[in-house]
Structures are given as structure tokens and as C-alpha cells.
């Protein structure tokens, strides 16, 4: 089976400081990979390098494109990468304000990716936007409201709808439940899990919340100081951590 | 179906001076299709640890665990995931689910993950929940709000939703009343009849005597303290 | 002759502007940056258009200047006088007689010819600006033809007003490549952007020049189910009775009495002269 994403020796430094170094992994279709670590561990740097937001110093990010099979995203031209970014890839930001257009209505936010890939029928765009608002449990009556009038949880769900409307195959998520109330988090996790299964999505989820990865991720990568120090099945890494740091991380979680 | 050879497991406590605690050495046994093997031994002998290694939840230091042709101790995560989806079921003592997901979907999920049609999966889930006497009015609620016994039954329903060829049961009858216990034992017998290889931990001696074909004393694999 | 260099600007500056114009002609709809000069008038009064006109003028040219279609408004009069003084060129109010027409907010009603240049004054050349505040990002969007956002604006219009409510500065796609702002002309004028005349756009404060060469394909953006509609006020001109010209609404007293008249004063005057001729 061809991996959807094949990452080889990805390294990014900021001057002399290590962002992430020699990261390699494969992601297969339908898999959810969790990346955990503390602030500054390099997990966000890694995610941004993978998603093409940051140019890495070296390494390869090989994506199995629909048209041409596996290709190194880093050597793609900017238009190709952007096209990927609005068709097969999606990026869910921690802060929905970074991923939404706050001055555009909810429907316009969801419709943008459709219009960006050439949709030119208002009625169809609106129908799809309505459908997606329903899927993320936002009332149809809110379609013409701006996201600034939404709660944090609704904004995050809107951001997810906006990203998934073009049926991407790979979703990057940066702390998708960060900054949300616990009850809202649960609802969002449920939503993401359902979408991942129904759409057969692959996802890379960066978070510092171990409870989130336990429920969302099939596999886990633990990062510290820019290095991947442990990988494995999510429940195995959490229940039988091998590296000293992972043991510390797992044992530091407050039990409820 | 399940073959364990020369299995060893240590815990290394890096944050407590790197203490290495050997918990299992030289474990070896096999379970044939249609057979139910009970793990016995005192508390702390390592029954749950063996179960967790069999499920891929704990890493082994050495040895092999082959289930359905896959060596769990060396397999890639995605192969273990595939094995768990298709071949290897596990009923733990604790229900761990995403909050807010309705009970019916929790139970149907193993079948949905296999790509079965939603109608079929939900029917199977309804059937199991009915047999395990979870009142229908609770089906659309999340099991996180249920009592311990109800949660345990939801967990069992979920574990038996798909007819796994290999099944691990960790105290399946604990905290159940007589009627429900009977149902669970029947489910186990049905699974055996369908050819499932089962490894179980039963503190309930009657239950053990009824479903287990053999007993394996895990104490035999416990390292002797020097 | 005056004490000014011909058409006010020095020759090197005109050369620089002509290069920008040529580049704009070569890449229709693309905004070419240029080193806009301080002009003896405030920004917003047509400094971009004046610089483009200055770079195009030759002593043989005949210049017409209109503001909102009218030759006799302050802005039009002062720019016309400016070039009379600094370039000593012939000026006219007759559209057909002009070789260069500088305009603000209108395209003349009379069909322009291959011998004419239409120079637009542009306050905001970037059609994506109000959707994306970053210039770095909008330039990238143009480079990559990443124009989904432009339709988002139209979508928002329909969602809010039931139709595309953008009535002026209606965005167009030039030669299937660049999205361009036609300057704040009414959308009624958009179909006239496909013209035999050379059309040049100058934005002084924003330091951009762009162009639509003769016979270039210019398509107003729309949706399949909400097609572009170059509508105007549903009245005839109160003075010349024209049914097909763009009208200004004029309030005539404190009671709110209003009349609709042609915004193109030359067009209206011509029609009235012809009607009087027929009557006589």
C-alpha cells in the first residue's frame, strides 16, 4: 500500500536553534497520527513544515497525489502547492480566527474553497454550505451570520466545515480543541472522529492534550527538543511509555 | 490461533532512578480456535500484563506473540490496528469512549470500522444491547453517564459486536448480576462455538469453570525475586 | 510657451511612466508598480490619471477631461486647464474629436475608436483589497490566479441583498488571467471595457498603472445562476429622452423632487442639438 504521506529526514532550524530535526514517518490512508510534546518541542514547527507554511532546511514530504502519484511537496511549484492546499489538504488552526474570514458570513466561509476551485453556481454553493453547516451542527439559520457572532466552539466547527467541504484526503490540525470548554471539546472530538471515519480522512493532529490523542489518534509521535523520541500505537505509548520523557509526560497528567 | 513464545517484559522506571522491574519471563502458551484459556494467579502475578501484551498495548522485551499470523511484538502500528479491527477483540474492565457518542453507536463502531453497512451494524448493536438488558431508552445516550454495571455491559456488547477469531476478556462477568452474567457466559460460549480463540481472566470461579477449557498459572512466568 | 517642460513632468519621468504603460499593455490587467510623482494637486484628485495622460500626450493631441461623465465639473475643468497651461494642447468637450480622454468614474456613451486613448483615474487599483488587507498576499493571489475570494464577495452580496449589489467598481476578468478593478465606473459601463480604444488606468497614491489594450476580452465576474446585469435607473433622460444612457439622479428642490439626466454631458448635448435641428 502506498503511504498517503511519506516524510523523510525533515529538518528545520531557526538560526542555530533546532526547530525539528530528522523527522521521518509514514502516514497511510485513513490513519490519524497524533504528535504530542510540550510547548517548544518542535511539534508546531513540524506541522507547519509538513503543511508547506514553513520551508524546511532539508528533507522530503512525499504526498500521494491523485493525478500523478507520490510527489515531493517541497519541490512542487507554489501554484501546485496552493491547489493542493485548497483541494486535497486542509489545515485546522488552533485559533479559529486564523482559519476563518471573520468579516465574511458562515456560508461564504464554507463556500470559499468551492469557489476557489471553480464553483460558479450560487445555488449549489449555498446548498453545499448548508449541508456542511448541518454536518458540523450549526443551524442553517446562521448561514448568513458572521463568525464573530459565534461562540468559540461554533467557530471551530465552522472552520472544520470550511476545510472539509472540498473533500480533502489529509487534514492537519493544530491543537484543534485548545482554548475550548471541556464539554465543547468532547463534542468537537466526536465530530472530528465521525468525519474521519465517514470520509476516510487521514489526519495529523498536533496537541499537548494526551486525552485528545487517546480518543482521536491511531498512532502517536512524542517530540522533545525537536526530536521524535518515541512512536507507536497510541494506547501503547500512553500505557507503556518507554522513553524517560514520555513516562514523565504521561505520569504528569492529572487524573479525573 | 494465538501462540506465545519466550515472552519477557520489564518495566523501566526512568523517573525513579531507572529501576528495572522484570514482570514476566519465559512465558509461552498457545490457544487453538474454539478454545478458551483462563489466566490464573494471584493479584500482581501479571495476568493483566500478559493480556495487554497480547493486545499490543504493552511492549514486550523479547519473545513473540503471534496472532492470526502477525507477530504483535514486532508488527508495525498499522498492522496491529488492522489486526485489532479484523481479528483481535478485547473486552477490558474499563469503557473508554468519546463523550457524547450514543451507546448504540459505541456498540456498532467495531462493525462500522470494518466497513459494514450502517443498518447491519446498528441491528447487531440493538440485538446485543437487548440481550444484555440495556433499556432502549438509554441507547441514544452516552454510556459515560451510566452506572458501572451498565458500562461493563456496553463494553461487552461492543467487544462481541464483531465475531473476532481471537478474543481477550478481562473479567467479563465482574460487577454483573446473575441474569446478565448468564448472558455474557452464553455469548462467550457462542464465540467459542464459532471458533474464536479466547484468553480470559476470570475471578469468578464458577464462570471460569464453565467456559474455560484450560488454565494457565501466570505465576509460572513471574521472575523469582533473588 | 510656458515655463514648464511639456506636460509638466520631466522627460525621464515620462519615460519611466511609458515603460510602466507598455508593460501594462503587454500584460493586460496586471498592476504595474511605478514611481508616482508629487503632482500639483492632492491625491484623490486624479494624480495617477494626470501622470498617465502627461506621459501619453503629444503636441498634436486633442484632450478631453470628464468627471462623472461631465466636462464642466471642478475636477475636469482644473485638469483640462492644467494641460492647457503645461502642454498647450488642444482641448475639446466632444468625445469624437478627442484623441486622449481622461476620465473619472465613467466611460463615454459614444463608442470609442482605435485612434483614442481612455485614461482612468483610479483611487484603489487592487480589487482584492477589501477582502485581503495584505499587499504581499494579494500580489501572490494574482500571481497564482487564486481568485476564489473575489467570488466570495459576490456570494456575500447575494446572501445579503438577494442579488449582486456591487453597482460600481464591478470586478472583471481580463483575458482569462487577471482580475481587475475597472475603477469606480458604474457596472453599466462594464460592457464598454471591451473597446477599440486603448484604456489606461493610473493610481497615483497607490503607485500602480494597468491597461486594457484594444479588443481585449473583459468579462464581468458573476455566477451561473446570477448572471452579470449591467442595469441602470429605469428612466429616460429628462433632457434628451435617451433610454440607453447612464443617468444621474438630480434633486431639484427641498421637497425631494428629482429628475434623471444623462451623466455624459456631451452625449446629452449632442442629442438635444440634433433634436432641435430636426424640429427646426
Q: Look up the domain containing B120 and give its range.
A: 2-221
Say if residue C120's pLDDT is above 90: yes
Q: Which three cell numbers stand for residue B50?
A: 500478559
**pLDDT tens readout for residues C121-160:** 999 999 998 888 899 999 999 999 889 889 999 999 999 9
Say if residue C2's pLDDT is above 60: no
Q: Look up the domain containing A222 and give its range.
A: 5-100+169-252
Q: pLDDT value at position A110?
A: 96
Nearest to A144 among C146, C149, C160 (CB): C160
Q: pLDDT value at position B225?
A: 58
- CATH number assigned to the domain comprising residue B114: 3.40.50.300
Evaluate whether residue A160 is within a structural domain: no
Answer yes or no: are the C-beta atoms of A24 and A36 closer than 8 Å.
no
Q: What total of structural domains would you count in chain A?
A: 1
Scanning the structure block, which residue is given the C-alpha cell 471642478?
C74
What's the CATH superfamily of C11-220? Answer: Bacterial phosphonate metabolism protein PhnH (3.40.50.11310)
Evaluate whether residue B226 is within a structural domain: no
Chain B residue set in contact with A, beta carbons under 8 Å: 11-15, 52, 56-59, 77-78, 80-81, 96, 98-101, 112-113
Q: Average pLDDT of chain A?
A: 91
Evaluate whether residue B178 is within a structural domain: yes
Scanning the structure block, which residue is given the C-alpha cell 464453565?
B210
Q: What is the C-alpha to C-alpha distance for residues A220 and A34, in angstroms, rounded to an integer?
A: 5
ipTM above 0.90, yes or no: no
The pLDDT of C194-206, averaged and rounded, is 97
**Which residue on chain B is closest to A218 by alpha carbon?**
B81
Q: pLDDT value at position B226?
A: 46
The counts of H helices and E strands in chain C are 6, 12
pTM of the model: 0.84
Q: pLDDT value at position C200?
A: 98
The pLDDT of C241-258, averaged and rounded, is 92
- CATH number assigned to the domain comprising residue A95: 3.40.50.300
| Strand-strand pairing, A219-224 and C258-262 | unpaired
Cross-chain Cβ contact B56/A193 below 8 Å: no
From the CB of residue A213, how many other CB atoms can be counted at a distance below 10 Å?
25
Taking chain B (226 residues) in runs of 10, the rounded mean pLDDT of each run is 91 87 90 93 87 93 91 91 93 81 91 90 94 93 88 92 94 88 93 94 90 91 72
**pLDDT tens readout for residues A153-171:** 899 999 999 999 998 999 9
> Residue C136 belongs to what H/E stretch?
helix C135-143
- Contacting residues for C186 by C-beta, under 8 A, at least 6 apart: C105, C106, C167, C168, C232, C246
| Size of chain A in residues | 256
- Contacting residues for C136 by C-beta, under 8 A, at least 6 apart: none
Evaluate whether residue A210 is within a structural domain: yes
Cross-chain Cβ contact A189/B98 below 8 Å: yes
Say if residue C106's pLDDT is above 70: yes
Evaluate whether residue A146 is within a structural domain: no
Answer yes or no: are the C-beta atoms of C201 and C21 closer than 8 Å.
no
Catalytic residue at C56?
no
**Which residue on chain A is closest to B116 by alpha carbon?**
A198
Radius of gyration of chain A (CA): 18
Q: pLDDT value at position A105?
A: 95
What are the extents of the domains in chain C? Answer: 11-220, 232-280
Evaluate whether residue B195 is within a structural domain: yes
Ranges of beta strands (E only) in B72-178 are 88-91, 166-170
Q: Which three cell numbers stand for residue B222?
A: 513471574
Q: How far is C149 from chain A (nearest CA, A)?
A: 6
Which parts of chain A register pLDDT below 70? Answer: 254-256
Evaluate whether residue A157 is within a structural domain: no
Evaluate whether residue A145 is within a structural domain: no
**pLDDT tens readout for residues C169-180:** 999 999 999 999
* Chains contacting A (3+ CB pairs below 8 angstroms): B, C
Say if residue C89's pLDDT is above 60: yes
* Chains contacting C (3+ CB pairs below 8 angstroms): A
List the one residue out of A246, A255, A205 whose CA is nearest residue A223.
Answer: A246
Amino acid at each position: 500500500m502506498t503511504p498517503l504521506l511519506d516524510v523523510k529526514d525533515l529538518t528545520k532550524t531557526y538560526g542555530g536553534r533546532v526547530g525539528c530535526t530528522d523527522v521521518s514517518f509514514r502516514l497511510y490512508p485513513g490513519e490519524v497520527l497524533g504528535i504530542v510534546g510540550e510547548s517548544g518541542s518542535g511539534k508546531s514547527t513540524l506541522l507547519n513544515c509538513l503543511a508547506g507554511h514553513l520551508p524546511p532546511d532539508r528533507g522530503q514530504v512525499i504526498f500521494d497525489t491523485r493525478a500523478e502519484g507520490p510527489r515531493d511537496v517541497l519541490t512542487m511549484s507554489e501554484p501546485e502547492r496552493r491547489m493542493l492546499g485548497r483541494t486535497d489538504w486542509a489545515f485546522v488552526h488552533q485559533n479559529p480566527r486564523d482559519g476563518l474570514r471573520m468579516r465574511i458570513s458562515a456560508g461564504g466561509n464554507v463556500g470559499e474553497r468551492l469557489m476557489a476551485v471553480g464553483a460558479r453556481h450560487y445555488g449549489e454553493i449555498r446548498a453545499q454550505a448548508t449541508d456542511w453547516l448541518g454536518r458540523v451542527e450549526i443551524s442553517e439559520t446562521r448561514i448568513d451570520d458572521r463568525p464573530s457572532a459565534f461562540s468559540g466552539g461554533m467557530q471551530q466547527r465552522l472552520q472544520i466545515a470550511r476545510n472539509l467541504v472540498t473533500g480533502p484526503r489529509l487534514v492537519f490540525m493544530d491543537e484543534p480543541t485548545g482554548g475550548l470548554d471541556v464539554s465543547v471539546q468532547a463534542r468537537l472530538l466526536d465530530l472530528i472522529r465521525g468525519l474521519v471515519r465517514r470520509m476516510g480522512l487521514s489526519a495529523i493532529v498536533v496537541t499537548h492534550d494526551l486525552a485528545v490523542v487517546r480518543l482521536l489518534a491511531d498512532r502517536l509521535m512524542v517530540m522533545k527538543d525537536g526530536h521524535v523520541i518515541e512512536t507507536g500505537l497510541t494506547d501503547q505509548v500512553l500505557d507503556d511509555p518507554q522513553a524517560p520523557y514520555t513516562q514523565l509526560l504521561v505520569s504528569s497528567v492529572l487524573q479525573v | 490461533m494465538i501462540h506465545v513464545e519466550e515472552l519477557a517484559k520489564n518495566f523501566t522506571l526512568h523517573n525513579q532512578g531507572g529501576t528495572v522491574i522484570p514482570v514476566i519471563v519465559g512465558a509461552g502458551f498457545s490457544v487453538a480456535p474454539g478454545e478458551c484459556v483462563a489466566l490464573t494467579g494471584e493479584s500482581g502475578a501479571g495476568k493483566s500484563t500478559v493480556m495487554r501484551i497480547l493486545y499490543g498495548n504493552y511492549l514486550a522485551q523479547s519473545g513473540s506473540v503471534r496472532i492470526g499470523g502477525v507477530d504483535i511484538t514486532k508488527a508495525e502500528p498499522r498492522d496491529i490496528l488492522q489486526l485489532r479491527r479484523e481479528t483481535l477483540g478485547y473486552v477490558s474492565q474499563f469503557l473508554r469512549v468519546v463523550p457524547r457518542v450514543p451507546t448504540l453507536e459505541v456498540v456498532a463502531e467495531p462493525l462500522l470500522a470494518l466497513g459494514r453497512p450502517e443498518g447491519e451494524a446498528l441491528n447487531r448493536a440493538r440485538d446485543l444491547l437487548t440481550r444484555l438488558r440495556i433499556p432502549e431508552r438509554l441507547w441514544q445516550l452516552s454510556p459515560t453517564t451510566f452506572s458501572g454495571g451498565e458500562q461493563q455491559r456496553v463494553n461487552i456488547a461492543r467487544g462481541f459486536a464483531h465475531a473476532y477469531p481471537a478474543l481477550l476478556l478481562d473479567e467479563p462477568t465482574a460487577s454483573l448480576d446473575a441474569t446478565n452474567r448468564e448472558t455474557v457466559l452464553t455469548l462467550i460460549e457462542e464465540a467459542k462455538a464459532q471458533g474464536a480463540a479466547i484468553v480470559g481472566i476470570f475471578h469468578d470461579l464458577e464462570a471460569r469453570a464453565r467456559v474455560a477449557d484450560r488454565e494457565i498459572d501466570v505465576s509460572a512466568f513471574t521472575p523469582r525475586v533473588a | 510657451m510656458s515655463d514648464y517642460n511639456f506636460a509638466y513632468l520631466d522627460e525621464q519621468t515620462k519615460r519611466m511612466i511609458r515603460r510602466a504603460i507598455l508593460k501594462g499593455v503587454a500584460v493586460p490587467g496586471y498592476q504595474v508598480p511605478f514611481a508616482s510623482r508629487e503632482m500639483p494637486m492632492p491625491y484623490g484628485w486624479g494624480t495617477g490619471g494626470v501622470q498617465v495622460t502627461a506621459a501619453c500626450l503629444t503636441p498634436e493631441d486633442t484632450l478631453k477631461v470628464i468627471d462623472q461623465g461631465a466636462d464642466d465639473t471642478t475636477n475636469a475643468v482644473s485638469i483640462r486647464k492644467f494641460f492647457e497651461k503645461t502642454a498647450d494642447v488642444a482641448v475639446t468637450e466632444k468625445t469624437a474629436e478627442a484623441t486622449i480622454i481622461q476620465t473619472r468614474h465613467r466611460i463615454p456613451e459614444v463608442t470609442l475608436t482605435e485612434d483614442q486613448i481612455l485614461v482612468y483615474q483610479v483611487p484603489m487599483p487592487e480589487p482584492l483589497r477589501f477582502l485581503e488587507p495584505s499587499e504581499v498576499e494579494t500580489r501572490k493571489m494574482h500571481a497564482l490566479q487564486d481568485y476564489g475570494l473575489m467570488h466570495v464577495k459576490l456570494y456575500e452580496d447575494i446572501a445579503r441583498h438577494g442579488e449582486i449589489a456591487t453597482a460600481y467598481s464591478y470586478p472583471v476578468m481580463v483575458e482569462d488571467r487577471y482580475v481587475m478593478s475597472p475603477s469606480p465606473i458604474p457596472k453599466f459601463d462594464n460592457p464598454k471595457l471591451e473597446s477599440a480604444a486603448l484604456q489606461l488606468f493610473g493610481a497615483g497614491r497607490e503607485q500602480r498603472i494597468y491597461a486594457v489594450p484594444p479588443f481585449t476580452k473583459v468579462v464581468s465576474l458573476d455566477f451561473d445562476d446570477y448572471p452579470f446585469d449591467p442595469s441602470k435607473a429605469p428612466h429616460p433622460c429628462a433632457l434628451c429622452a435617451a433610454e440607453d444612457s447612464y443617468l444621474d439622479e438630480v434633486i431639484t428642490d427641498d421637497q425631494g423632487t428629482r429628475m434623471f439626466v444623462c451623466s455624459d454631458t456631451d452625449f446629452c448635448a449632442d442629442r438635444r442639438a440634433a433634436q432641435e435641428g430636426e424640429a427646426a
